[in-house]
């Protein structure tokens, strides 16, 4: 059972990496010498993403989420032994076993646990690389229904219905399509949200742009959340709330399900502009965060990250910014959040709130 799990997770991660490389190669081919994909190639790009890349990415993401949620006990025991002083030292030389144990170890520790900061030794990194010949061994077959990607307007943060809670005062300012976070710390309750009424969000695909302007280890902010309660993100964490968050901590942007305290993150660089998509199919068991380096969302940074969710979960409140009020000061920093696109028309809700 343990060996089967290790092979499956290593193969699934290789397939995910292969999909990312194919995605970026396709966009480069269609882009040619242009900075973005020209109009004449837009139809082919949309077809490729909707008919080939997105169905496969969703399928393999669900597989990875299932495997991460079902690590055999013997693998958990083995993986726990490799974490010591934030270093990884694994005796086996087989690449798939190393990748599997690293992946298993990432599921064993809480996001705030210092042991979760796993760093591979230089001697381990070569064996953990997924080379082209290893990718070629991971076969993929196109399946799945066509995904439509219709154009739609950006969310206007100055429109009626958005509520600012800024107890610290002046930590956020906003225009129609930009939220500026200034000197936000971990002892302040600050969030910006809208009530879309009960069970509004089930299947969704949300886009936003994000830049960490200043900040270091220990600084936390959530540029996107869905929840069924109104509070800061630390409350979601403590109460195991039915909620999803994009959660920046120590230059890693995580996708988090606080109900189960499961998470998966991608390292980002302070001062660099990123373009993020968060998606879940209706009734799906997976929420996926994909980070791009370009506004047209053609080039993926790292690989998409996913967390398992309960299929029946639906969400009411959308947050475009949220703080982590854990009563620990000394971590103030700045960020920019832009261009939220939730792929739907502005709703008329029963509880229209006012900005104050």
Same domain, yes or no: 238 and 333: yes
332 within some domain: yes
Same domain, yes or no: 219 and 120: no
pTM over the 0.75 mark: no
- Upper half-sphere CA count for residue 299 (Cβ side, 13 Å): 13
CA distance linking residue 80 with residue 101, whole number of Å:
9
> Whole domain around residue 172: which residue ranges?
162-341
Beta bridge partners of 178: 338
218 within some domain: yes
Taking CB atoms within 8 Å and a gap of at least 24, the contacts of 292-296 are 294/36, 295/36, 295/209, 296/36, 296/37
Same domain, yes or no: 129 and 178: no
Three-class secondary structure of residue 268 per DSSP: coil
143 within some domain: no
Same domain, yes or no: 168 and 125: no
Q: Name, in order, each residue with C-beta under 8 angstroms of 152's C-beta and a sequence gap of 6 or more.
A: 341, 343, 344, 345
Q: What pLDDT was estimated at residue 18?
A: 79
What's the CATH number where 323 sits? 2.60.120.200
Please identify, among 102, 136, 170, the residue that sits at the C-terminal boundary of a domain. Answer: 136
Residue indicated by tokens 């490799």: 82
Q: What pLDDT was estimated at residue 277?
A: 96
Domain count, the chain: 2
265 within some domain: yes
Nearest one of 343, 246, 231, 346 to 304, comparing CA atoms: 246
Q: How many CB atoms lie within 10 A of CB 325?
A: 21
Q: Where are the beta strands (DSSP E) in the chain?
A: 83-84, 87-88, 119-120, 162-166, 172-174, 178-186, 190-195, 204-214, 220-227, 243-249, 252-257, 262-267, 274-280, 286-292, 305-308, 317-322, 328-341
CA distance linking residue 257 with residue 8, whole number of Å:
23
Taking only the tens of pLDDT, the chain with its 356 residues reads 677 888 888 888 878 887 888 888 888 889 888 888 999 999 999 998 888 888 888 888 888 888 888 889 888 887 777 655 455 555 545 667 777 777 777 766 554 444 444 444 444 444 444 555 555 545 443 333 333 333 457 899 998 899 999 887 789 999 999 999 998 888 889 999 999 999 999 999 999 999 999 876 667 899 999 999 999 999 999 999 999 999 999 899 999 999 999 999 999 999 999 999 999 998 999 999 999 999 999 999 999 999 999 999 999 999 999 999 888 877 788 999 999 999 875 443 333 322 22
Same domain, yes or no: 168 and 110: no
146 within some domain: no
φ, ψ for residue 83, nearest 5 deg: -95, 115
Same domain, yes or no: 91 and 175: no
Q: What pLDDT was estimated at residue 92?
A: 46
Same domain, yes or no: 93 and 33: yes
Same domain, yes or no: 131 and 170: no
Same domain, yes or no: 195 and 311: yes
Same domain, yes or no: 204 and 111: no
Sign of the alpha-carbon torsion through 220, 315, 164, 212: positive
Distances in whole angstroms, Cα of residue 29 to Cα of each of 44, 149, 259, 293: 11, 21, 41, 17
User: Quick check: 96 and 7 in contact, CB under 8 A?
Assistant: yes
113 within some domain: yes
156 within some domain: no
Please identify, among 121, 136, 151, the residue that sits at the C-terminal boundary of a domain. Answer: 136
Please identify, among 136, 170, 199, the residue that sits at the C-terminal boundary of a domain. Answer: 136
355 within some domain: no
Beta bridge partners of 159: none
Largest separation between any pair of C-alpha atoms in the chain:
60
CA distance linking residue 96 with residue 74, whole number of Å:
17
Rg of the chain in Å (alpha carbons): 20
CA distance linking residue 146 with residue 49, whole number of Å:
9
Same domain, yes or no: 180 and 326: yes
Same domain, yes or no: 49 and 117: yes
């Amino acid at each position: 059972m343990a060996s089967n799990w290790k092979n499956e997770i290593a193969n699934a991660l290789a397939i995910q990496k292969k999909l990312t490389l194919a995605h970026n190669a396709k966009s480069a081919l269609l882009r040619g010498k242009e900075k973005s994909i020209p109009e004449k190639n837009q139809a082919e790009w949309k077809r490729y993403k909707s008919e080939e890349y997105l169905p496969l990415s969703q399928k393999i993401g669900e597989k990875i989420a299932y495997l991460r949620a079902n690590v055999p006990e013997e693998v958990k025991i083995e993986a726990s032994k490799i974490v010591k002083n934030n270093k990884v030292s694994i005796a086996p030389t087989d690449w798939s076993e190393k990748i599997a144990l690293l992946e298993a170890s990432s599921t064993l520790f809480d996001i705030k646990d210092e042991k979760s900061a796993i760093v591979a030794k230089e001697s381990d990194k070569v064996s953990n690389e997924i080379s082209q010949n290893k990718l070629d061994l991971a076969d993929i077959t196109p399946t799945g229904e066509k995904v439509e990607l219709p154009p739609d307007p950006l969310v206007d943060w100055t429109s009626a219905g958005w509520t600012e809670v800024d107890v610290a005062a002046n930590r956020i300012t906003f225009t129609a399509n930009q939220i500026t976070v200034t000197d936000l710390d971990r002892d302040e309750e600050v969030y910006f949200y809208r009530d879309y009424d009960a069970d509004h969000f089930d299947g969704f695909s949300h886009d936003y742009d994000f830049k960490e302007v200043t900040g270091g280890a220990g600084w936390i902010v959530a540029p996107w959340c869905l929840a069924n309660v109104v509070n800061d993100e630390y409350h979601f964490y403590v109460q195991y709330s039915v909620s999803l968050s994009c959660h920046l901590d120590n230059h890693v942007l995580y996708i988090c399900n606080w109900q189960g305290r499961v998470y998966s993150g991608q390292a980002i660089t302070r001062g660099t502009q990123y373009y993020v998509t968060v998606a879940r199919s209706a009734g799906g068991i997976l929420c996926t965060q994909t980070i791009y380096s370009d506004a047209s969302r053609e080039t993926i940074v790292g690989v998409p990250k996913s967390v398992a969710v309960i299929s029946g979960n639906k969400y009411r409140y959308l947050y475009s910014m949220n703080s982590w009020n854990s009563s620990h000061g000394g971590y103030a920093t700045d960020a920019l959040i832009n261009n939220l696109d939730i792929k739907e028309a502005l709703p008329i809700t029963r509880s229209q709130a006012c900005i104050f």
